[in-house]
Structure 1
């Protein structure tokens, strides 16, 4: 029995069949006019991104596995009340993917194509699971392991900033581990392009637990919001919850805006120094506000990190995921 064919049939819902559009969308340099869905065996759904499904697929030509993000064109073209917002998110993601294909800690886009109904983005398949999954399983990470992940995240964010892109949605669910244990950032739907160190935006977006105070206040902000998010993720890895977390969203927002950062046992002095510098409520005084990634690298917390080796993937990861059969894995997600 052809399982991939059955899967493909099952993935078509009635809305998909009844809402086709023949209008093409500009996919830019990544567009491959010769590619088509039948080039792949679609094996399983491995996650959902900002605006579509992500499928594990095996290319028939060479047997290689890819994560393919599939987006319905009707989402972009037919729903007038959300067309501008959603198309902006989808095209921002595509644009960011195009710019980052060679960075070691950002998911790479191989190419894209389209049919009458759908857009397809052929991405790296990253099979070590979400950082969120591993953190939920272990509750906290030892400081050396957290330091390794944070250093690789900072490198990826610094690279995005060098392209005048603010990531804006750093969280454990958007961070994958590859089969060796290196991190890979995914899901660029909330990225904001064209933001240099001296420029700002004021869009209210992101994940509540990790929102910087200036975002909550709807004030203009810049790439320093990413360094706040980095501090929030580091805090969560060390202590099990984001720094100002509450089940009550309004209380959590109030905590982010007004509650001082509380010191907790179990972290080194340099870790606390970094957390205090990253989780500075005034973005103009936050670590990274003057010289961006260079300030992060220079902090004592990273004194043992050899950044050139790290960015060449020469530093051995402190943890290697147990990568099982790709068809059995449940915590996969790409793009």
Structure 2
């Protein structure tokens, strides 16, 4: 989350530019900028990550960062909103990092995306977050479930499992626009997206 969210400062699109900087960093390094490579070995406490976001500068320890990538990430991850790329009246698309993209053709729909999600597949990193905000209790996981969840990030989710989500009420709960995020501690601007099953 951007510093302004953590500090409870009013915000608009500044958090989206921050998120783009984090996403670019993670695409290069395969870990997030404020958790660092140690997060692969041990869990970094939420409070420590929040402190780093608000106080520390980003480190570029991974060898995959070139000068343009470092520059755009650094500009998107400025802690001061008025200094952040995209928030100071500038156009991020003019940055050198985007030089290979023809935005006029992209806006006109003339460029095919490099990857298209399959409409009959659920893509998710894992299912652990569901338990944090779900009101559905008493579900017992067995060895078969554990095997499935280990393969969950492959994007292959069987129709029977999707049917089980519908029958259990979890699908409706996740897609209820009025559901409360009490356990996850999220406010209206940070709610997770909807779930789609086909």
Shorter-chain-normalised TM-score: which range?
0.5 to 0.7
Tell me the residue number matched to 1:299: 95
CA distance in 2, matches of 1:237, 1:218: 28
Q: How far off is 1:313 after superposition? A: 2.9
CA distance in 2, matches of 1:289, 1:273: 16
TM-score by length of 1: 0.33
Tell me the residue number matched to 2:48: 251
> Are 2:92 and 1:271 equivalent residues in the alignment?
no
Q: How far off is 1:320 after superposition? A: 5.3
Candidates 30, 38, 42, aligned match of 1:240: 30
Give unpaired runs (5+ residues) of structure 1.
1-210
> Are 2:126 and 1:330 equivalent residues in the alignment?
no
Coordinate RMSD, CA, aligned: 2.9
> SS at the partner of 1:274?
helix
Q: How far off is 1:268 after superposition? A: 2.1
Tell me the residue number matched to 2:107: 311
Tell me the residue number matched to 1:284: 82
> SS at the partner of 2:91?
helix
CA distance in 2, matches of 1:330, 1:238: 27
Tell me the residue number matched to 1:213: 3
Q: How far off is 1:318 after superposition? A: 2.9
Q: How far off is 1:233 after superposition? A: 1.2
Identify the structure with the greater strand proportion. Answer: 1
CA 1:320/1:288 → structure 2, altered by over 3 Å: closer, same or farther? closer
Q: How far off is 1:307 after superposition? A: 0.5
Q: How far off is 1:324 after superposition? A: 8.8
Give unpaired runs (5+ residues) of structure 2.
123-154, 163-194
**Pairs within 5 Å for 1:124-135:** none
Q: How far off is 1:250 after superposition? A: 0.3
Q: How far off is 1:315 after superposition? A: 2.0
Aligned pair count reads 122
Q: How far off is 1:329 after superposition? A: 4.1
Q: How far off is 1:222 after superposition? A: 2.8
Q: How far off is 1:334 after superposition? A: 3.6
**Pairs within 5 Å for 1:137-286:** 211-245=1-35, 247-263=44-60, 264-286=62-84
CA distance in 1, matches of 2:110, 2:102: 9
CA 1:320/1:254 → structure 2, altered by over 3 Å: closer, same or farther? same
Deviations 1:170-196 (A, max 9, x none): xxxxxxxxxxxxxxxxxxxxxxxxxxx
CA distance in 1, matches of 2:113, 2:14: 27
Identify the structure with the greater helix proportion. Answer: 2
Deviations 1:71-120 (A, max 9, x none): xxxxxxxxxxxxxxxxxxxxxxxxxxxxxxxxxxxxxxxxxxxxxxxxxx
CA 1:297/1:326 → structure 2, altered by over 3 Å: closer, same or farther? closer
CA distance in 1, matches of 2:17, 2:49: 19
